[in-house]
Amino acid sequence: MTATTHEPRPRGLKGLLERGPGGPFDERSWRSPIRGPWLTSVLALVLLVGLLVLIVTGLLSYAAYDPRLGGSNDQTPQAGLLARYVWFDWFTSPSWLYRVNQGVHVLLGIALIPVVLAKLWSVAPKLFEWPPVTSPAQALERLSILLIVGSILFLIVTGTMNVQYDYAWGFSFYTGHFYAAWVFIAAFAAHVALKLPVMLRSLRGTSYWSVDRAATVPEPRDPDHLVSPDPLPASISRRGALGVVGGGSLALLGLSVGQSIDPLRPTALLSPRGQHVGDGPNDFQVNTTFGQIGVDPTETGASWRLLLVGPSGQQVSLRREDLLTMPMRTEELPIACVEGWSTSRAWTGVRLRDLAGLVGGAGSDSVFVESLQRGGAFSTMSLTGKQIRAGKTLLALKVEGVDLSLDHGFPARMIIPAAPGVRNTKWVKALTFGGQA
């Protein structure tokens, strides 16, 4: 198959076109003996399963904001048909739903990074194929490969930077991650459709799993030219290389998983959410501190009022003492951030549906929640009728039996079962109930 490389070579432009510019474009410069369809296919199988989980959890995470409510709920108002799959109101039970969904999305996403990089390494010679174009089919396929590589690296970079508060991109994380995800879905689907048979054929053929280093030799030359024509002696077996990739995944996972599991929190050494936040019942992670929102602490004191507005304009204004005389409920509910970290606490407060009842909003199809916070993408937030009527949705006044700290939303905050953390508006000042569906 490689007979051409040993023939006498024409010179000049014709020679350049046939031979290529050398360097990485010369396939003999790719010398790893373990590159080949089998290694690529094993990595592809892991990614096929893992990336499907990431796509599903990502789409669910988007739906969990109930973007149909508009306003802050919809961070990508131009999405058009791309958001049309959200035809349902987000779930209110089981209460751990978003916690698990987002924990899986972020932790699995981080753990798959070494697998993605290994997969890209395994097919790197294809990037430098010569001649670069041999047919319209191949040209189009190479374009789709640019889309899949660009989008997956973009999703990795924006995802990992976002959980570390590094917003160097000049666009909203939601916008970038959402649209790139759709490009990725498109390119991933096409890639799977075209390459699944190649992967399956390769995995059904000879297995190289049990071959040790001393016996590691290249696979037979393949039609995709992944196998090196001029390999070096093996410095690691294929199984060893896969072990390194898996070890990298485990290292990333092991150093991050504590951000989502309370007893393991101190083990999250590199995840930003492994640290303590003060001590006592209010020692759990904060996103948006009181100091950031530009509000004078006196506004949360005796002068604070909760304004309830009903569907036909009725208004009720309540002091914190008034709320404390209403029937109190205590619910164990998670708080789970889109960034993947989460925890669970016992919250005490008034049911949202009881508050709705005070202004005739028990049957409302939505409620508009406003915070004391000035500005900021999430100082207001809407909830669905389903969330109003869910028995566990609270306007929480206390956590673990003590008053909320200022950072956790004193005097009162929303806490909604199964919803993203950012929907649990803090420092609530007004609830406006909408009409009936």
Partner 1 sequence: MSRTSADDTRVTGGPFRRLYGASPWHLVALLACFALTAYAVSRLLEDLPVLLRIALWFVGAALVWDLVVGPALALADRLLRRLLGRRAGERQRLRVPALNYVRIPGLVSLLLLAVWLPVILQRSEQVFRSKAGLSQDPFLGRWVAITLVLFAASAVAYVVAVLRSRRRPSS
In the complex, least distance from residue 4 CB atom to partner 1, rounded to whole angstroms: 7
In the complex, least distance from residue 347 CB atom to partner 1, rounded to whole angstroms: 20
- 3-state SS assignment for residue 212: coil
Please identify, using beta-carbon distances, which residue of 222 and 354 lies nearer to partner 1. Answer: 222
Please identify, using beta-carbon distances, which residue of 37 and 361 lies nearer to partner 1. Answer: 37
DSSP assignment string, 6-72: GS----HHHHHHHH-SSGGGSGGG---TT-SHHHHHHHHHHHHHHHHHHHHHHHHHHHTT-GGG-GG
* Among 260, 285, 371, 387, interactor with partner 1 by CB under 8 A: 285
In the complex, least distance from residue 384 CB atom to partner 1, rounded to whole angstroms: 25
CA distance 84 to 376: 26
Please identify, using beta-carbon distances, which residue of 96 and 182 lies nearer to partner 1. Answer: 182
In the complex, least distance from residue 220 CB atom to partner 1, rounded to whole angstroms: 13
Residue 360 · residue 429 · CB < 8 Å: no
CA distance 257 to 249: 12
Residue 390: CB atoms within 10 Å: 22
* Site membership for partner 1, residue 173 (CB under 8 A): no
In the complex, least distance from residue 73 CB atom to partner 1, rounded to whole angstroms: 18
Interaction with partner 1 in 287-346: which residues (CB under 8 A)?
287-289, 291-292
Residue 94 · residue 333 · CB < 8 Å: no
Nearest to 305 by CA among 423, 411, 173, 165: 411
DSSP state of 221: P
In the complex, least distance from residue 435 CB atom to partner 1, rounded to whole angstroms: 30
Nearest to 28 by CA among 233, 235, 228, 234: 228
Helices (H), 227-340: 238-254, 320-325
* Site membership for partner 1, residue 79 (CB under 8 A): yes
Please identify, using beta-carbon distances, which residue of 256 and 348 lies nearer to partner 1. Answer: 256
Interaction with partner 1 in 378-407: which residues (CB under 8 A)?
407
The footprint of partner 1 on this chain (CB under 8 A) covers a number of residues equal to 89
Nearest to 425 by CA among 72, 187, 44: 72
CA distance 228 to 50: 28
In the complex, least distance from residue 353 CB atom to partner 1, rounded to whole angstroms: 31
Interaction with partner 1 in 106-125: which residues (CB under 8 A)?
110, 113-114, 117, 120-121, 124
Interaction with partner 1 in 236-275: which residues (CB under 8 A)?
236, 240, 244, 247-248, 251-252, 255, 269-273, 275
Please identify, using beta-carbon distances, which residue of 146 and 302 lies nearer to partner 1. Answer: 146
DSSP state of 88: S
Q: Which helix (H) or strand (E) holds 334?
A: strand 329-336
CA distance 408 to 284: 9
β-partners of residue 382 are 368
* Site membership for partner 1, residue 425 (CB under 8 A): no
* Site membership for partner 1, residue 8 (CB under 8 A): no
In the complex, least distance from residue 176 CB atom to partner 1, rounded to whole angstroms: 5
In the complex, least distance from residue 157 CB atom to partner 1, rounded to whole angstroms: 5
* Among 53, 203, 253, 286, interactor with partner 1 by CB under 8 A: 286
DSSP assignment string, 349-410: EEEHHHHHHHTT-TTBSEEEEEES--SSTTSEEEEEHHHHH-TT-EEEEEETTEEPPGGGTT
* Site membership for partner 1, residue 424 (CB under 8 A): no
DSSP assignment string, 270-300: SSGGGS--SSSTT-S--SS-GGGTT--GGGG
* Among 26, 89, 175, 386, interactor with partner 1 by CB under 8 A: 175
Residue 195 · residue 44 · CB < 8 Å: yes
Residue 363 · residue 419 · CB < 8 Å: no
In the complex, least distance from residue 406 CB atom to partner 1, rounded to whole angstroms: 11
In the complex, least distance from residue 130 CB atom to partner 1, rounded to whole angstroms: 9
Q: Per-residue x/- marks for partner 1, 132-171, CB under 8 A?
A: --xxxxx-xx-xx-xx-xxx-xx-xxx-xx--xxxxxxxx
Which range binds partner 1 by CB under 8 A, 186-194, 326-334, 378-386, 428-436? 186-194
* Among 49, 189, 215, 402, interactor with partner 1 by CB under 8 A: 189
Please identify, using beta-carbon distances, which residue of 191 and 392 lies nearer to partner 1. Answer: 191
Please identify, using beta-carbon distances, which residue of 56 and 143 lies nearer to partner 1. Answer: 143
Strands 402-403 and 329-336: unpaired
